[in-house]
Each structure stands twice: as C-alpha cells, then as structure tokens.
Amino acid sequence: SQTIHQWPATLVQPVGSPLSLECTVEGTSNPNLYWYRQAAGRGLQLLFYSVGIGQISSEVPQNLSASRPQDRQFILSSKKLLLSDSGFYLCAWGRGPVNYEQYFGPGTRLTVT
C-alpha cells in the first residue's frame, strides 16, 4: 500500500529564517505530487504541483519554492520566511489524469514568529 510521509510535524521559525519541508511517498512510482497550505480558518490552497522529476508548476506567486529531486520526494523551501507564511502545510500525491483522487500526508504546522 502507499504511504506518504511529511516532516517535521511542527516547526517554529523566526521571520527571515530559511525553510525546508520534505515529503516522501512510498509504494508507488511516478506519482503526481502537490503542496497545499491551509491558513487558519480557511480552505486548502494549492501552492505547487509536480508531474515528474524536476517539473514544478507554481499556482500562487509567493515567498516559497518547490523542488522534486527524486521521483517520490517533494520539497518545499523558502529563503526568508514571512509572518504570512504561517499555516498548515500539506503534501499530497495522486495518479492523475486517469485517477482523480489525491491522498494527503499528515501535514506540518509552521509558525513564523
């Protein structure tokens, strides 16, 4: 069966510090990978998605970037965090376009102070 991992689970970082969140998927190959953010009291905002190694599509211009160095690894980064980057970050995988479901990891709670 497929498993998706995210770490760390929680993170408190000062403004201006760098960020690196990692996501890995097990049990499948060539998945589509996604980074979402859920701000407090709001829905899920798609930040980036990737259909293959090195292929990144950005949905929202912002202070973040994503990379996919390996087939089942997806990394979310920032060089300098802003207060507005605080939120709950979720990684997901899917098989699209044939299968539409996306499956989410446990999430990372980021607080920028």
Partner 1 sequence: DQQVKQNSPSLSVQEGRISILNCDYTNSMFDYFLWYKKYPAEGPTFLISISSIKDKNEDGRFTVFLNKSAKHLSLHIVPSQPGDSAVYFCAARGSSNDYKLSFGAGTTVTVRA
Nearest to partner 1 of 18, 41 (CB atom): 41
CB of 75 to partner 1, least distance (A): 17
CB of 109 to partner 1, least distance (A): 7
CB of 84 to partner 1, least distance (A): 18
Nearest to partner 1 of 55, 70 (CB atom): 55
Nearest to partner 1 of 6, 86 (CB atom): 6
Q: How far apart are CA 47 and CA 16, in angstroms?
A: 20
Two tokens, residue 74? 């997806």
Q: Return residues touching partner 1 (CB under 8 A).
A: 6, 32, 34, 42-46, 49, 51, 59, 88, 90, 92, 94, 96-98, 100-107, 109
Which residues, at least 6 apart from 2, have a Cβ–Cβ distance to it below 8 Å? 25, 26, 27, 28, 93, 103
Strand order in the sheet with 3-7: 3-7, 19-26, 73-78, 65-70
